[in-house]
Amino acid sequence: MKNLVMKFGGTSVGSVQALTQAANIVKDQAAHWDGVVVVVSAMSGVTNTLLQCAQAATRGDEDTYTRLISELRFKHLKVLDSLITNPSKGSDLTGMIEQHINELTAICSSVHVLGEITPRGLDTISSLGERMNARIFSALLNQCGVSSQPMNATQLIVTDSNFQNAHPLMEATRTKVQQNLVPLLEKGIVAVVTGFISANEEGITTTLGRGGSDYTSSILGDALDADEVWTWTDVDGVMSADPRIVPSARVIPELSFSEVGELAYFGAKVLHPKTIRPIIERNIPLWVKNTFNPSHPGTRISQNPSSAPGKVTAITTIRDLSMITVAGRGMLGVPGIAARTFSAVARQGTSVLMISQSSSEQSICFVIPTENSPEVIRSLEEEMALELMRKDIDRIWAQDNMVILTVIGAGMRETPGVSARVFGALGRSQINVIAIAQGSSEYSISMVVSAEDADHAIQQIHREVIENEKGSES
């Protein structure tokens, strides 16, 4: 069978108009594929509201969680009333929504009494948005003449018991998919699957963490050996830069899996790096498309795109960072300083986003989120107390208001002159680069600049490097 997995994000299924548009897309594609699986997120804003309910209940704020629950009920019933014309089906769906709302109310009441909630409880609460929306969207497809059936992903995706950020067990998942999903597709039924949700081996609900619905689509794509996976969102594809900063930013027609992984890691709000791992292993092409402009081809992501190597493809940033520096002449040739430095950071549970070390070994600098800076400095000073007392290490300090700016492109390391063009653009604009790092992956060059220079730096690199390359190609 020729199978397609399509995922619709929150904004793509977040209103009557969006749901109608998404249903039209599914109807159109169902005529061209043997099997279609649709993964749906909760309506935009719903998951955040569900978590706010849990937080309010934990604080003992009954008025707030009661108000939020009422808002959720109203939102879903209003959409249902506008979309579903069959009175009997509308009544069934209304009962389903009330059942889930009652479940939410009962959990929040229990949390209110206990004053705390477990990760398992949070997974149960945060899964309710997808459960409601999958049923509504499947009913809409049936109303549009597309044979459809909703499926809870707890019947398909098996994970470990790491609640809030579960890891899929692919062999068990593949077995479940073959048993429960494939028979539907063989009958020509479009399966509408809840994104973000899964279950452990005991059948207890888990969730897949950040990027969960994208992850669901790639896991199902892997388990089905799907021909393609499409992610529908509210932009035309992956952009060369943030269009709010660079109005001339354009859609990138093709990207490699490695490039999009770098983009995601370095701050682009496209796909979380883990979401593409299953389809990379199966070499299944992934498309990013716009629900509200479906005629646009979007961005195709694959193992070996036809784009020329050596080109700078995109620029992205991570903001609200601090650069920590450990420096001292006494560090020269002393083994273990770097290991102890990063052990001290790890004890605080802080992720290091970028590292730069001078060849003289007299300084190590690395970049972390600013919110973690005070604890990391304290941990380093405790770890290096003896070296600080001896003056082997002169100083440990933080520079705040830093931004990592990363330029990304296939095979940049093997192409002469790329770094020169990037840093030349910054130099001509009098932008100071504070630190630099290039990984051996050959797909990115990262640099640290001050927050006040970041937007100007992005604009200059885009204009002088990316746009010039595009101009020379044409």
98-113: average pLDDT: 97
Question: What's the fold here for domain 314-473?
Answer: VC0802-like (3.30.2130)
The strands making up 228-233's β-sheet, listed across from edge to edge, are 148-151, 190-194, 35-40, 3-8, 228-233, 286-290, 299-302, 254-256
360 pLDDT more than 60: no
Query: In 3D, which of 355, 358, 452, 449 has the Cα closest to residue 407?
Result: 449
Q: 142-146, 253-257, 310-314 — which one is most confidently predicted on average?
A: 142-146
* Helix or strand (DSSP H, E) at 220: helix 212-224
Of the options 3.40.1160.10, 3.40.190.120, 3.40.640.10, 3.30.360.10, the CATH number for the domain spanning 3-234: 3.40.1160.10
CB atoms within 10 A of CB 428: 10
Element at 298 (helix H, strand E):
none
Tokens of 309: 């190597």
Contact present, 380 and 344 (Cβ < 8 Å): yes
- Pick the range with the lowest mean pLDDT from 5-19, 41-55, 64-78, 439-453: 439-453
What's the confidence (pLDDT) of residue 439?
61
Answer yes or no: is pLDDT of 423 > 80.
Answer: yes
**In the structure, what pLDDT confidence band is assigned to residue 172 with cuts at 50, 70 and 90?**
very high
> In the prediction, which pLDDT does 469 show?
65
Tell me the mean pLDDT in the region 376-382: 96
C-alpha to C-alpha distance for 238 and 288, rounded to whole angstroms: 7
Give me the pLDDT at residue 308, please: 57
**255 vs 200, more confident:** 200
Question: What are phi and psi for residue 409, nearest 5 degrees?
Answer: -175, 150
Statement: residue 290 has pLDDT above 70: yes
- Find tokens 């794509």 and name the residue: 221
CA–CA separation, 427 vs 151, rounded Å?
55
Query: Does residue 470 register a pLDDT over 60?
Result: no
Count Cβ atoms below 10 Å from residue 23 Cβ, excluding itself.
23
Share of the chain above pLDDT 90, in %: 74
Q: Is the pLDDT of residue 327 over 80?
A: yes
**How many Å apart are CA 308 and CA 256, to the nearest integer?**
11
CA distance 238 to 119: 33
Range with the lowest mean pLDDT among 32-46, 117-131, 181-195, 302-316? 302-316
pLDDT band at 307 (very low <50, low <70, confident <90, very high): low
Residue 280 has pLDDT above 80, yes or no: yes
Mean pLDDT of 109-137: 96
Q: State if pTM tops 0.85.
A: yes
CB atoms within 10 A of CB 438: 17
- Mean of the per-residue pLDDT values of the chain: 91
Alpha carbon distance, N-terminus to C-terminus of the chain: 40
Contacts of 152 (CB under 8 A, 6+ apart): 131, 134, 193, 194, 197
| Domain 3-234 and domain 314-473 have a common topology | no
How many angstroms from the chain centroid is the CA of residue 416? 33
Rounded Cα distance, 425 and 437, in Å: 17
Q: Give the DSSP letter of residue 117.
A: -
Domain boundaries, the chain: 3-234, 314-473
pLDDT at 434: 92
DSSP notation for 364-419: EEEEEEGGGHHHHHHHHHHHTHHHHHHTSS-EEEEEEEEEEEEEE-TTGGGSTTHH
> Which whole number is the average pLDDT over 170-199?
97
pLDDT reported for residue 262: 81
Residue 254: helix, strand or coil by DSSP? Answer: strand
Task: Choose among 197, 243, 261, 203: nearest CA to 40.
Answer: 197
pLDDT tens, 4-15? 999 999 999 999
pLDDT band at 474 (very low <50, low <70, confident <90, very high): very low
Q: Backbone phi, then psi, for 164, in 5-degree steps?
A: 80, -20
Question: Which residue from 244, 424, 420, 239 is spatially nearest to 313, judged by alpha carbons?
Answer: 239
**Mean pLDDT value of segment 312-326:** 92
C-alpha closest to that of 151 among 91, 216, 101:
216
Question: Which structure tokens are listed for 168?
Answer: 């899929």
DSSP state of 8: E
pLDDT at 338: 86
CA 402 to chain centre: 22
Residue 267 confidence class, pLDDT cut points 50, 70, 90: low
pLDDT reading at 357 higher than 80: no
Q: E strand or H helix at 323, and its extent?
A: strand 314-327
